[in-house]
Amino acid sequence: MNHINHHPDDATLLSYAAGALPQPFAVLIDCHLQQCPQCHEKIFKAEALAGEFIEHSPPVEANNSDALRDKFFAALDTEPAPQQLAHSAGNEVQLPAEIAAVLSGRDQELPWRLIVPGMHSITLSSGELHHNSLNNNESSLKLLRIAPGRNLPMHSHQGSELTMVLQGAFQDELGCFRPGDVADLDHEVEHQPITIGNEACICLVAMDAPLEFKSLVPKLLQPFIGF
């Protein structure tokens, strides 16, 4: 199993546990959970803690809501009980066939669409995504394959984005991301990912708004590349 250094934010995991994530984001978290016992356990604990908080917490005034939220997230980081780990390790989900193909090394069989030289993508249709979560027509899930040594233009995000590495690696201002790692991004993040190593980097990308490119040429090409 890969050693995972970058995880979704606790707030994202809590939304997943509550069934409040848009479907593309939830499918990406499903994929991460299959490789990350640490986040798998946090999901289990979030579900259990939520029930306890609802049952035992008094009504919360608006000015105390931040303190309650901080208390909840702090509880997620406590050492899990052994029986909780055993319980959470058994959950498995069926991933879309395209993701399974990448994870099994059969990505060359997929119908990759050329975006620009060195960069290909596949958009997963809503009919291929099976998860008990929110349906959001503004959200999308894509596979992105970038050749070694290539980089995306400098950009920020108009909305939320989750990016998980399935194969290869990339590096940006936030660090180095390898298989299993997740970048949990929002409008405050500005970065320029570049692939590292000798193999193509394949990522699973969930987003609910287009990227915000910083230079003119990518802005002009944006309607054609679908990001």
Mean pLDDT by 10 residues, the chain (227 residues): 86 90 93 93 79 54 54 56 38 79 91 90 74 66 93 76 95 92 85 90 90 65 64
In this structure, the number of other CB atoms found within 10 A of the CB of residue 208 comes to 18
The whole-number pLDDT of residue 82 equals 39
Say whether 185 sits in a helix, a strand or coil: strand
Residues forming a β-bridge with 53:
none
What domains lie within the chain, and their CATH numbers? 10-88 (1.10.10), 97-225 (2.60.120.10)
What is the Cα–Cα distance from 215 to 227, expressed in whole angstroms? 14
The whole-number pLDDT of residue 89 equals 39
The whole-number pLDDT of residue 38 equals 92
* Segment 45-54 long-range contacts (CB within 8 Å, at least 24 positions apart): 45/75, 45/76, 45/80, 45/84, 46/13, 46/14, 46/17, 46/18, 46/76, 47/17, 48/84, 49/75, 49/76, 50/17, 50/18
The residue among 172, 209, 213 whose CA lies nearest residue 6 is 172
The whole-number pLDDT of residue 202 equals 96
The whole-number pLDDT of residue 88 equals 40
The whole-number pLDDT of residue 210 equals 75
The whole-number pLDDT of residue 84 equals 40
What is the Cα–Cα distance from 125 to 63, expressed in whole angstroms? 42
CB neighbour list of residue 175: distance below 8 Å, 6 or more residues apart: 5, 6
The whole-number pLDDT of residue 6 equals 95
